[in-house]
Amino acid sequence: MKVFHVELWSIWLSGFVLILLSLYATQRLPSLNNDDYRIFKLKKIDVLYSRNLSITIFSAPKPFMDSIGTRQSHAVRSWLALSPFVNVVLYSHHPSVASFANAFDSGRVLVDTDIDFSFLGSPFFHSMIAKSRSFPSEIFVIVDPETVILSGFISTLNHVYELDRDWLLFASPQNVSHLDNTKNVKIQEKVQQNLQWNYCYNAERMLLAWNNKDMPLHNGVLPPFVYGKGTHNNWIIHEAISSEFRFVFDASWTITSFRMNNATFENSSALDIENRNWEYIGNSHLGANYGSFFYSEANYSNLPKLLICKNKYIMVDTKKNIVYPIRHRGGVNLLKENTKHCIDNQKSVTEMLDCSVKDQMKIPESLELPFSLESLLSITADRNKTIVLTVSGYSYKDMLMSWVCRLRKLSIENFIVYALDQETYQFSILQGIPVFKGPIAPSNISFDNCHFGTKCFQRVTKVKSRIVLKILKLGYNVLLSDVDTYWFRNPIPLLHSFGPMVLVAQSDEYQEQGPINLPRRLNSGFYYAHSDYQTIAAIEKVVKHAETSGLSEQPSFYDILCGEGGTYRVGNSKCVEPETNVTVHFLDRNLFPNGAYQNLWQEKNVKAACLNNGCYIIHNNWISGRLKKLTRQVSSGLWEYDPSTRMCLQS
Ligand SMILES: *[C@@H]1O[C@H](CO)[C@@H](O)[C@H](O)[C@H]1NC(C)=O
Ligand SMILES: *[C@@H]1O[C@H](CO)[C@@H](O)[C@H](O)[C@H]1NC(C)=O
Ligand SMILES: *[C@@H]1O[C@H](CO)[C@@H](O)[C@H](O)[C@H]1NC(C)=O
Ligand SMILES: *[C@@H]1O[C@H](CO)[C@@H](O)[C@H](O)[C@H]1NC(C)=O
Ligand SMILES: *[C@@H]1O[C@H](CO)[C@@H](O)[C@H](O)[C@H]1NC(C)=O
Ligand SMILES: *[C@@H]1O[C@H](CO)[C@@H](O)[C@H](O)[C@H]1NC(C)=O
Ligand SMILES: *[C@@H]1O[C@H](CO)[C@@H](O)[C@H](O)[C@H]1NC(C)=O
Ligand SMILES: *[C@@H]1O[C@H](CO)[C@@H](O)[C@H](O)[C@H]1NC(C)=O
């Protein structure tokens, strides 16, 4: 009993000293270098550390600014100080993260931008986990970017690395939320109060670690959770337990980690506080709808705990009051006699509450982006106030995603999706896409049969021109692109260079020779409209014409802008509409081929053939039926999305 107390005290004491040091460090950050963080190692237990395990710690920090940046910096430095074989991978697009990482010349801190992010820059957890597999490391760890890891980490991992089966451990950071506001009062007392062992499990901030073996963490597919927005750690732990692929246990007692305070929301912009709730709501929806996960089942107190007794690691089930032997591969059973008294003691210190459960019980009802069209446009448009707009219904959602993934790969972020139905809207939110819907969408579109020439197609296309008009009137240039276009490179600078009063459109002409502006050859599935008075007037005429027409909007575009029968044609590739003086410029089909041009889609290597012509985009039109269209695009390799994992394909 005494021995145990000594152990516990030594942990407490070290933790305490370290917190003091870390508090000191908070105020003196710039003068610290990596060596100063060596103090984070707990001497006594960490002597076992000899195996030089390669460990990769993954996290997704916020921008390194303000107090959050300081806390993150502490956290990352504390990780690096654990062992020279710890490497850190930070998922972020933000320049401040890149410059933070560059300050470590050893290359131990990498920044990875090649995963899926939401349009507000939040990384996707499922994509982080998938990407982790590409790093050569014996152990993977995911931890909240503000969690300082103090001690016990390396020695715990060394121990469990030798377990005779694959494992997943979790450790809840301790709650010292009041510390950094109390620099001048008696810190000693505060630490004792706050580092008591009867704290809450903080599922949202848990550290997860697992050995890198073939055995997956869980059965089934990890839903597209947004990282850091609740639920996903819970989900992983629960699914890992129920799949029984791995031994899942609680190492909160042997790994000392903490967060300086609860400041997740402390200094986020208004955007963050009010507008990020939907990320939590989205995650809750996913958590509830995928796998066997139910909120009420998350109960950490029932799981095996790793504890230290008489300088030895033991696995305890406090509920059943039994000690598991820790079976190692070498057949050595580390469990010795005299553990009974330890367990009796442990029981009193392992009453940790799952405080997060009650909050997660309530699954919020509706999933909505809290942005009006106007605010969404201002967030996503580029500096020239240009927006790429696409329109999609649910049966085209995979094609939509492939299109989105392609644009993201080209670093084109100024796009926005108009959802024709509620399913597409919610799906898009969960995929992190800037999406809006409106009262204009026809309510009962059946999309499998909504192809060219049908009534449904006509109704849908009319929606498109009305949305374009609305956005033009809000002062944004619009590049309308159907989802069945594959983008080889960014066409926006070229399209922008035509200037005002020029509507730049793809030609749907199929004959290789001759004019490309013949009647009804304007493809209204890919055009660029500059936001100016004349262009708005011209599109307004198109919309008005389409309303009363029995056809789709495509003929309206041509008949209004180029005149019926092509009376306003100028040369072989232009028209000038006399009332508004708006010019229609038909795009060079070598650069913007339609689906019939040169039979490019029939080429063995569509990509090479197109690029040989100098393609910007190729349209997957001139084919009837959704499935044929889909098949053609997937089999040609001009495809960027994996619907089974809900992730963009890695290049
Ligand atoms: C661990 O690495 C150190 C050098 O960093 C080396 O001296 C030692 O031999 C290594 N231990 C093992 C078990 O490989
Ligand atoms: C942290 O401590 C405060 C006050 O002691 C408590 O209200 C809060 O619920 C704790 N949070 C967690 C996650 O344990
Ligand atoms: C978390 O921080 C906020 C703002 O700093 C504060 O209002 C709140 O009481 C804190 N919560 C806890 C549990 O400490
Ligand atoms: C919060 O962040 C904003 C913008 O990043 C900054 O201007 C402001 O000073 C910060 N406030 C605090 C209290 O850190
Ligand atoms: C979790 O398990 C403990 C011990 O069995 C029990 O007291 C507690 O009520 C459980 N919590 C939930 C939320 O089921
Ligand atoms: C904005 O327009 C200018 C001038 O037309 C062009 O040089 C620049 O590349 C454009 N910027 C973007 C982000 O498209
Ligand atoms: C779709 O809605 C239109 C108008 O609201 C209605 O006339 C039509 O019958 C509906 N079609 C189906 C298949 O429900
Ligand atoms: C179109 O151009 C003609 C001749 O240049 C000019 O007289 C007319 O005012 C212009 N119309 C508009 C709407 O700008």
Residue 188 has pLDDT above 90, yes or no: no
Q: Which atom of ligand 5 is nearest to the CA of 296?
A: 13
- Residue 257: pLDDT band (50, 70, 90) is confident
Dist CA 617 CA 632 (whole Å): 16
pLDDT band at residue 34 under the 50/70/90 scheme: very low
| Cβ–Cβ < 8 Å for 70, 263 | no
- Tell me: pLDDT of 324 over 70: no
More confident residue, 175 or 421: 421
pLDDT on residue 33: 34
Cα–Cα–Cα angle for 100, 105, 109, rounded to 5 degrees: 55
Residue 168 pLDDT > 90: yes
Q: How confident is the model at residue 273 (pLDDT cuts 50, 70, 90)?
A: very low
pLDDT at 393: 87
- For ligand 4, mutation pick of 26, 62, 68, 267 (most atoms within 8 Å of CB): 267
Min mean pLDDT across 128-142, 309-323, 620-634 is at: 309-323
- Going by C-alpha positions, the residue among 234, 247, 240, 356 that lies closest to residue 305 is 247
* Helix and strand element counts for the chain (H, E): 21, 26
Which residues are paired to 648 by β-bridges?
641
Burial label for 321, CB within 10 Å (0-12, 13-18, 19+), is exposed
pLDDT of residue 279: 83
Sheet with 569-570, edge to edge strand ranges: 435-436, 415-419, 386-392, 477-481, 522-529, 502-507, 583-586, 574-576, 569-570
Structure tokens belonging to residue 624: 């009837």
Q: Which residue puts its alpha carbon closest to atom 4 of ligand 6?
A: 497
Strand partners, 56: 87, 140
Interval 566-602: pLDDT, tens: 999 999 999 999 999 999 999 999 999 999 999 999 9
Is the shortest distance between the CB of 225 and ligand 2 below 6 Å? no
- Return the minimum-mean-pLDDT range out of 127-136, 221-230, 361-370: 361-370
- Whole-number percent of the chain with pLDDT over 70: 73
Q: What pLDDT score was predicted for residue 550? A: 74
Q: Is the pTM of this model over 0.85?
A: no
Residues lining ligand 6, CB < 6 A?
A: 382-384, 492-493, 496
pLDDT digits (tens, 9 = 90+) for 344-392: 555 445 556 665 554 554 566 678 888 889 999 999 999 999 999 999 9
CA-to-CA dists, residue 322 to 298, 341, 350, angstroms: 21, 12, 14
Query: By the 8 A CB rule, do 288 and 347 touch?
Result: no
Q: What is the dihedral of CA 72, 73, 76, 78, to 10 degrees?
A: -110
Residue 22 clears pLDDT 60, i.e. is over it: no
Q: Which ligand is nearest to the CA of 64?
A: 4
Distance of CA 473 to the CA centre of its chain: 32
- The pLDDT assigned to 343 comes to 57
Question: What pLDDT band is residue 238 in, cutting at 50, 70 and 90?
Answer: confident
User: 40 or 514: whose pLDDT is higher?
Assistant: 514
pLDDT of residue 68: 82
CA pair distance 152, 585, nearest whole angstrom = 68
pLDDT the model gives residue 50: 61
- State the closest ligand 3 atom to the C-alpha of 262, by its place in the atom list counted from 1: 1
Range of 143-147, 261-265, 506-510 with top mean pLDDT = 506-510
Residue 28 or residue 642, greater confidence: 642
Q: What are the structural domains, with CATH classification, of the chain?
A: 34-284 (3.90.550), 373-645 (3.90.550.10)
CA–centroid distance, 538 to ligand 8, in Å, is 13
Cβ atoms of 77 and 34 within 8 Å: the answer is yes
pLDDT band at 289 (very low <50, low <70, confident <90, very high): confident
What DSSP assignment string belongs to 281-327? HHHHHHHHHSTT--GGG--GGGS-EEEEETTEEEEEETTTTEEE--B
Kindly give the distance from the C-alpha atom of residue 577 to the centroid of ligand 8, in angstroms, as a whole number: 10
The neighbour count for residue 21, using CB atoms within 10 Å, is 14
Measured in degrees and rounded to the nearest 5, phi and psi for residue 545 equal -65, -40
What separation in Å is there between the alpha carbon of 354 and the centre of ligand 5?
A: 8
Contact 173, 206 (CB under 8 A): yes
Residue 621: count other Cβ atoms within 10 Å of its Cβ: 21
Q: Please report the pLDDT score of residue 422 as a whole number.
A: 86
Three-class HEC string of 404-459: HHHHHHCCCCCEEEEECCHHHHHHHHHCCCCEECCCCCCCCCCHHHCCCCCHHHHH
Q: pLDDT averaged over the chain?
A: 80
Q: What is the number of other CB atoms lying within 10 angstroms of the CB of residue 12?
A: 16
The torsion region of residue 194 among left (phi > 0), alpha (psi -120 to 50) and beta comes to: alpha
